[in-house]
Amino acid sequence: MNLTVGQIAEILNGEVAGDPNILILGISSLEDAQCDSVSFLANPKYEQHLYNTHAAAVIVGVDFVPKQSTKTVLIRVNDPYLSFTALQAEYQRLTILKKTGIEAPVHLGTDFSHSDGLYLGAFAYIGDHVTIGKNVKIHPQVHIGDHCTIGDHTIIYPGAKIYERTIIGAYCNIQAGAVIGSHGFGFAPKPDGSYQNIPQTGNVELGNHVDIGANTTIDCATLGTTRIEDGVKIDNLVQIAHNVEIGKHTVIAAQTGISGSAKVGKHVMIGGQVGTVGHIHIADHTKVGARSGVTKSTKSDQILFGVPAMDRHGYLKSYAIYKKLPELMACIQELEQKILNLTPNSPK
Amino acid sequence: MNLTVGQIAEILNGEVAGDPNILILGISSLEDAQCDSVSFLANPKYEQHLYNTHAAAVIVGVDFVPKQSTKTVLIRVNDPYLSFTALQAEYQRLTILKKTGIEAPVHLGTDFSHSDGLYLGAFAYIGDHVTIGKNVKIHPQVHIGDHCTIGDHTIIYPGAKIYERTIIGAYCNIQAGAVIGSHGFGFAPKPDGSYQNIPQTGNVELGNHVDIGANTTIDCATLGTTRIEDGVKIDNLVQIAHNVEIGKHTVIAAQTGISGSAKVGKHVMIGGQVGTVGHIHIADHTKVGARSGVTKSTKSDQILFGVPAMDRHGYLKSYAIYKKLPELMACIQELEQKILNLTPNSPK
Amino acid sequence: MNLTVGQIAEILNGEVAGDPNILILGISSLEDAQCDSVSFLANPKYEQHLYNTHAAAVIVGVDFVPKQSTKTVLIRVNDPYLSFTALQAEYQRLTILKKTGIEAPVHLGTDFSHSDGLYLGAFAYIGDHVTIGKNVKIHPQVHIGDHCTIGDHTIIYPGAKIYERTIIGAYCNIQAGAVIGSHGFGFAPKPDGSYQNIPQTGNVELGNHVDIGANTTIDCATLGTTRIEDGVKIDNLVQIAHNVEIGKHTVIAAQTGISGSAKVGKHVMIGGQVGTVGHIHIADHTKVGARSGVTKSTKSDQILFGVPAMDRHGYLKSYAIYKKLPELMACIQELEQKILNLTPNSPK
C-alpha cells in the first residue's frame, strides 16, 4: 500500500506511539504479520499475540495499556476493528481500484459510451451499444455483450462473461468467471423423444450493490427479465435459472441452485448447496439451512432444513431419532415378544 | 429486431388488425412489454393483461374476439404460442447468429480449415489442425485446442474452453465458461501417502444437437473417449467425469455430477444437484429426482429419489413418517409403559 | 505423438516383435484403437480384445504368448501397465508441454521475471511484479494478477484466473476456468437489514504438486492466507472459501464446498458434493462419503456419511430401517391394537 505509519494514523484519525515514518506495505493479522505490515488488536483475548507479532505497527484502542513491552509502533484509535476495516477498504481502493485507462488491445463495439474513471483491461470485449457509468473497472478478458448497461462504481473481475442486454446497477462486484445472461435450460419434448430448444430471448437485471461470486451462473429470462434486486449477495458457483427473481438484501451461499421462475423474497438467507424447485415463492425473511431442498412455497419467517425441506427444529428432532433407528427397531421387536408372552394361549 | 408489424405478420403467415408500419424492436410478455415490443396471448386466463399491456402488437388466435377495447395492434395466427416461439427463434437468428467474419486480433494455428458463415470473435484462440464446419459461431475469448473438429451450425459462447482433440457435432450450443476436455481426477496412491497423477490422454466427443450449460465441466477420458450422444441437454455447473458416456436425448439439470466411467442410457432425465457414483449403469428412460445420490446401477423406467437413491414413492412414504419420528418415539414409549402395566407383578 | 514403434520400445526398454518402423500417432485402449495407435494388454481378462484390435502396436508382458494369431506388432516389457502409463506421461510431455515461447499478443506488466522454458499463450495477461519459475506453461487467456509467484514446472490451462498476490508452488496443474483468489463471501449486517462488504485483502497459497480442477473457485483470505498444502488434489467445481486450510495430500472430489475458516487435515479423503460448515477442524485421515454435510469437527480416522454427517456404518444401518419406516409404522399400530385387546375393560 506504500503508506507511512503517520499517513495511516491520519486516515484513521488516530495517534501514533512510536516512529511515524516507518513504511507499511501490507495488512495482516497479528500472527501472520511481516515486518512491513500493519495489524490490529480489537479483542482482548488476542492480546498475547501483540507481544510476539512481527507487525511494524498495530492499531489498538485509545485506552489500551500494554501489559508487556512491545516492539511495534501503536496507532491508537476509538474503535480498532472499525478502523482496521476502514483501512482494508482504503487498501482495496488503492490497489484494485487505482487503475484507470484503456489497455491494448481491447475490442470496442460501435456506440460505446462511458464516463470518467474507466479502467478497461487488455483483451476485454465490449459489444455494440454499451453504456458504462462513472469509475467502472472492467478487468482483463471480460466480455460485455451488445446493448448492456453498467452503473457507476461497478467492478467486473477478470474473465466474467456478460451476455447481451444485461443491465447492471451501481456499486456491483462481479467476481472472475461469473456468467450473466446465459441461455438457460428450456426444451420442449418432441413426439420422437428428442427435444426442441425454446429460444431464450429475455435478459438479466442486477440492482445496485449486488455481489456475484466467482463462476456463478445467472440465466437470462426465457422472456422478460431474470431480476436480482438491490443489495443481494450471491456466493461462488451458484446457479440462478431463467426468470428467477431475488428480492432485496437476500444472501445466497455457495453452490446453491434456484430453479426456473422461482421468486425469492427480501432479506432471505439461503445456506450453501441448497436447491429449490421451480415456480415456488420463498417468503421474505425465510432462512434455509445449508444443503436443504425446498419443494414448496414458504411462509414468512420460517427456518427450513432437510430434503424436502421442513421446519428446522422438527428436522433435527427427527434426525436425532433417525440416528437411533436400529435401537428403536430392537425395542419394537422386544415389545412384540412381550405382547406375545402376555397373550393367552400364545406359544411360549 | 427492427421489423415492422407487417413483416412479422408475413413471417408468421398472420393477419394484421391495425397499423402494419409500426416498428418492433423487442419481444416480451404482455406484462413486461414496452411500446416497441411484440407479445402474445395464447392462454385465455391471461386475457386481462391484453387490455393493460404497453405492447405495440400482440399475437392472438385467429378467432379471438376482444371483450374490451385495446390499444395494441393484433396479429391473428392459427396457433399464437407456436407462432410466438417461431418469432423468438427468428429473433435469435437475427441477433445472435447474424455475425460473420473474423474479428481482430485472434490466434489462428497452422492447418486451420473452415467453411462459409464463420464468426470468430476477438481474442479467440484456435490451435493447430482445427477443422470447423459451415455457419459456426465462435464468440470472443473462446479457446479451441489443437486437433479439434466442430460441426456445422454450432455456436460456442464467450470464454468457453475446449481442450485438444475434442470432437463437437453439428447444431450444438456451448454456453459461456463451459470447459470441455479438462484433465480429470485420476491419481494413484503412493506408499508414502502422496499421489501420482495418472496421465489423461483421451478426449471428449459431443454428438449433434448437444447443449452444454454455462460453466459446466466435461473431463476427457483417461484413455479413449468421454462421449455425449446426439440430443443430450446439459444444464449449468454440471460435472461430467472422465470416461462417462451419456446416451441420446438424455437431459441433466444444473449442478449434477456424474462420476468417472458411469454410463447413462438414452432418454434419461436427471434432476438438479444429483450425484452418481462411478462405474454404474443408469438404464434407458430412468428418472432421477433432484438431489438424489445414485449408488447402484438401475433398471429401465425406474423413478429414483433420496441418498442413496431408492424408489421415489417409497422414499416419500418413508419421509412422511420421518417427519413424525418424535411422535412415533413417544408412541412406542407409551406402549412400553402399557405393557409394563399389563405385566403381572410389575411395579405400578 | 509421431514416434515409431521402435522409438517407443526404446523409451520403454522393451522388445519389438514385428515391424519397428510403423509410425504411431496416438494412444488408446484396445477397443478404441485406430490403425495408428499403440495400446496395451495388462489384465489377462481383456486378452480377447487383442485379437480384434485395430491398434498398430500393443504393449504386452515379456512372457505373454498369444493364443491366436494377431495382426498387431507386440512390444514386450516387464510391466505392461506401468510402461503404458509411462508412455502416456511421455505423450503428455510431447504434446502439452512441448510449447515454449511467448505468443502475441500478451500483456506483460512491469517487473516481470521468468526462467527458461516458459510458454505464454496468446491473450494471457500478466500483471505487475510477477515472478515465474522454470519450464512454466501458461496457456492462452490466463490471467495472473499483480505480485503473483509461480513455481517451476507448473501448468496453468486456458482461461484460469489468478488474482493478485497468489503464490503457486512447483509442479502444480491448474485446469481451465479455475479461479484462485476471488473475494469471498464476507458481509456485515447493517441496522437497516442491508449488508456492508468486508474487504477481502488476504491471498491464496498453493504448495507444490497441487492439482486444481476446472472451474473450481478458491477465495482469498479475508486477512492472511487461504492455504492449500503440498500434494493436495482438488477436482472440478469445488468451492474453497476464505481462510480455509487444506493439509498435505488431501483429496477433494467434484462439487464439494469447504466453508470459511475450516481447517482440513492431512491425508483426508472427501467425496463429491460434500459440504462442511465453517470454522470446524477435520482431523487427519478422515474419510467423508459423497454428499455428506459435516457440521462438527471430527476425530482422526473417522468415516463419515449423511447430513448432518455421522458414522458411516451407523448411517447406513439407520437408512436400511428408514426404507422400511412404513412397515415399522404398521407394526406399531398393530401392537397398539393388540395391547388394547389385552387391556381389561377395553372396548373390543
Cell numbers 513491552 correspond to what residue? A69
Chain A interface test: which of C141, C166, C182, C319 (most A C-beta within 10 Å): C182
In a domain, B207, yes or no: yes
The whole-chain average pLDDT of chain C stands at 93
Q: How confident is the model at residue B151 (pLDDT cuts 50, 70, 90)?
A: very high
Is A236's CB within 8 Å of C194's CB?
Answer: no
pLDDT at residue number C199: 85
User: CA-nearest residue of chain C to B331?
Assistant: C332
Same domain, B61 and B114: no
Same domain, B157 and B240: yes
**Chain C residues within 8 A of A34 when measuring between CB atoms:** none
A40-53: average pLDDT: 92
Distance from CA of A130 to the nearest CA of B (A): 15
Is A141's CB within 8 Å of C163's CB?
Answer: no
Q: Give me the residues of A, 233-272, that contact B with CB < 8 A.
A: 237, 239, 241, 255, 257, 259
Hey, what amino acid is at B27?
A: I
Nearest neighbour of C176 by CB, restricted to B161, B223, B293: B161
pLDDT at residue number A347: 54
Percent of chain B past pLDDT 70, that is, above it, reads: 98
Q: Judge contact between A30 and A41, C-beta under 8 A.
A: yes
Distance from CA of C319 to the nearest CA of B (A): 9
State the cell numbers at C204.
491464496
Residues A11, A5: Cα–Cα separation, whole Å: 10
A330 touches chain C (CB under 8 A): no
The whole-chain average pLDDT of chain A stands at 93
Nearest neighbour of C233 by CB, restricted to B195, B273, B277: B195
DSSP string of A39-84, one letter each residue = EE--SGGGHHHHHH---SEEEEETT---SS--SSEEEEES-HHHHH
Residues of C noted as catalytic: 242
In a domain, C40, yes or no: yes
Chain-centre distance of CA C58, in angstroms?
A: 29
State the cell numbers at C308.
448432518
Rounded to two decimals, what is the model's pTM? 0.91
A271-282 pLDDT per residue, tens: 999 999 999 999
**Chain A residues within 8 A of C237 when measuring between CB atoms:** 215, 237
User: Closest Cα to residue B306, out of A279, C307, A280?
Assistant: C307
Alpha helices in chain C (DSSP H): 5-12, 47-52, 80-95, 312-322, 325-342
* Cα end-to-end span (Å), chain A: 86
Residues of B noted as catalytic: 242
Nearest neighbour of A213 by CB, restricted to C145, C185, C237: C185
CATH code (residue A155)? 2.160.10.10
Does the pLDDT at position B187 exceed 90? Answer: no
A113 touches chain C (CB under 8 A): no
Chain-centre distance of CA B55, in angstroms?
A: 30
Query: Across-strand partners of A219?
Result: A182
In a domain, B16, yes or no: yes
Does the pLDDT at position A109 exceed 60? Answer: yes
In a domain, C73, yes or no: yes
B86-103 pLDDT per residue, tens: 888 888 777 766 789 999
pLDDT at residue number A93: 75
User: Closest Cα to residue A176, out of C178, C69, C55?
Assistant: C178
Cell numbers 429414483 correspond to what residue? B304
Q: Give me the residues of C, 115-154, that contact B with CB < 8 A.
A: 121-123, 139-141
Q: Give me the residues of C, 174-193, that contact A with CB < 8 A.
A: 177, 179, 182-185, 187, 193
pLDDT at residue number B167: 98
pLDDT at residue number C304: 95
Is B291's CB within 8 Å of A277's CB?
Answer: no
pLDDT at residue number A29: 85
Distance from CA of A233 to the nearest CA of B (A): 19
Chains that touch A (3 or more CB pairs under 8 A): B, C
Does the pLDDT at position A203 exceed 90? Answer: yes
A285 touches chain C (CB under 8 A): no
Does the pLDDT at position B259 exceed 70? Answer: yes
Cβ of A192: how many Cβ atoms within 10 Å?
Answer: 8
Is A122's CB within 8 Å of C141's CB?
Answer: no
A223 touches chain B (CB under 8 A): yes
User: Closest Cα to residue A158, out of A181, A177, A145?
Assistant: A177
C181-187: average pLDDT: 93
**Chain C residues within 8 A of A103 when measuring between CB atoms:** 107
Does the pLDDT at position B170 exceed 90? Answer: yes
State the cell numbers at B304.
429414483
Is B343's CB within 8 Å of A339's CB?
Answer: no
Among A94, A120, A145, residue at a domain's last position:
A94
Among B61, B94, B127, residue at a domain's last position:
B94
Percent of chain C past pLDDT 90, that is, above it, reads: 71
Q: How confident is the model at residue B346 (pLDDT cuts 50, 70, 90)?
A: low
Is B103's CB within 8 Å of A105's CB?
Answer: no
Cβ of A342: how many Cβ atoms within 10 Å?
Answer: 15
Same domain, C51 and C148: no
Hey, what amino acid is at C26?
A: G
Is A141's CB within 8 Å of C123's CB?
Answer: yes
DSSP string of B293-344, one letter each residue = EE-S---TT-EEETTTTEEHHHHHHHHHHHTTHHHHHHHHHHHHHHHHHHST
pLDDT at residue number C345: 65
Cell numbers 391484453 correspond to what residue? B50
State the cell numbers at A107.
475490442
State the cell numbers at C307.
447430513
C29 touches chain B (CB under 8 A): yes
**Chain B residues within 8 A of C325 when measuring between CB atoms:** 317-318, 321-322
As for the ipTM of the complex, it is: 0.90
User: CA-nearest residue of chain C to B342?
Assistant: C343
Query: Across-strand partners of B228?
Result: B206, B246
Same domain, C140 and C84: no
Same domain, C81 and C132: no
Residues B227, B242: Cα–Cα separation, whole Å: 9
Is A185's CB within 8 Å of B213's CB?
Answer: yes
Residues B58, A35: Cα–Cα separation, whole Å: 70
Same domain, B183 and B53: no
Q: How confident is the model at residue B340 (pLDDT cuts 50, 70, 90)?
A: confident
Q: How confident is the model at residue C347 (pLDDT cuts 50, 70, 90)?
A: low
Residues C33, C329: Cα–Cα separation, whole Å: 57
State the cell numbers at C175.
485446469
Q: B3-4 and B23-24 as β-strands: parallel, antiparallel, unpaired?
A: antiparallel
Q: ω before A344 within 30° of 0 (cis)?
A: no
* A326 vs A92: which has the higher pLDDT: A326
In which order are the strands placed within the sheet that holds A167-168?
Answer: A113-114, A131-132, A149-150, A167-168, A203-206, A225-228, A245-246, A263-264, A281-282
In a domain, B342, yes or no: no
Distance from CA of B190 to the nearest CA of A (A): 32
Same domain, C30 and C123: no
Is residue B229 classed as helix, strand or coil in its secondary structure? Answer: coil
Does the pLDDT at position C75 exceed 90? Answer: yes
A222-235: average pLDDT: 96
B239-256: average pLDDT: 98
pLDDT at residue number C100: 93
C39-53: average pLDDT: 92
pLDDT at residue number A12: 93
Q: Give me the residues of A, 42-71, that contact C with CB < 8 A.
A: none
Residues 6+ apart with CB under 8 A from C92: B199, B201
DSSP string of C44-99, one letter each residue = GGGHHHHHH---SEEEEETT---SS--SSEEEEES-HHHHHHHHHHHHHHHHTS--
A94 touches chain C (CB under 8 A): no
CATH code (residue B44)? 3.40.1390.10
In a domain, C332, yes or no: no
pLDDT at residue number C85: 85
Residues B123, B120: Cα–Cα separation, whole Å: 9
How far CA C243 is from CA of A27, A45, A188, A297, C202, in Å, comes to 15, 20, 44, 35, 8
A·C CB contacts under 8 A: 179
Is C237's CB within 8 Å of B217's CB?
Answer: yes
In a domain, C125, yes or no: yes
Q: How many domains does chain B have?
A: 2
B90-137 pLDDT per residue, tens: 887 777 667 899 999 999 999 999 999 999 999 999 999 999 999 999
User: CA-nearest residue of chain C to B237?
Assistant: C237
Q: Which of A114, A143, A209, A242 is catalytic?
A: A242
Residues B67, B104: Cα–Cα separation, whole Å: 56
Same domain, C133 and C35: no
Main-chain dihedrals φ then ψ at residue A307, nearest 5 degrees: -135, 110
C329 touches chain B (CB under 8 A): yes
Chains that touch B (3 or more CB pairs under 8 A): A, C
Same domain, A174 and A306: yes
pLDDT at residue number C151: 98
Same domain, A209 and A245: yes
Residues C103, C44: Cα–Cα separation, whole Å: 47
User: CA-nearest residue of chain C to B107?
Assistant: C122
User: CA-nearest residue of chain C to B291?
Assistant: C291
In a domain, C229, yes or no: yes
Question: Which of the residue ranges A246-260, A332-346, B208-222, C122-136 would you say has the lowest mean pLDDT?
Answer: A332-346
Same domain, A222 and A238: yes
Residues C218, C184: Cα–Cα separation, whole Å: 8
User: Closest Cα to residue A298, out of A317, A285, A313?
Assistant: A285
* A148 vs C83: which has the higher pLDDT: A148
**Chain C residues within 8 A of B195 when measuring between CB atoms:** 231, 233, 249, 251
pLDDT at residue number A22: 95
Q: At what angle do helices C325-342 and B325-342 cross, to 10 degrees?
A: 30
Is C235's CB within 8 Å of B184's CB?
Answer: yes
Q: Which domain holds residue A111?
A: 101-312
Burial C215-248 (b: 16+ CB within 10 A, else e): bbbbbbbbbbbbbbbbbbbbbbbbbbbbbbbbbb
Residues A112, A317: Cα–Cα separation, whole Å: 59
**Chain A residues within 8 A of C224 when measuring between CB atoms:** 28-29, 31-32
Maximum Cα interatomic distance, chain A, rounded to a whole number of Å: 99
B14-65 pLDDT per residue, tens: 999 999 999 998 888 888 888 889 999 998 899 999 999 999 999 999 999 9
Q: ω before A140 within 30° of 0 (cis)?
A: no
The whole-chain average pLDDT of chain B stands at 93
Residues C160, C158: Cα–Cα separation, whole Å: 6
Nearest neighbour of C239 by CB, restricted to A89, A231, A236: A236
pLDDT at residue number C340: 85
User: CA-nearest residue of chain C to B311?
Assistant: C323
Same domain, A30 and A169: no
Residues B268, B285: Cα–Cα separation, whole Å: 5
Residues C172, C191: Cα–Cα separation, whole Å: 45
Chain C interface test: which of B108, B223, B336 (most C C-beta within 10 Å): B223
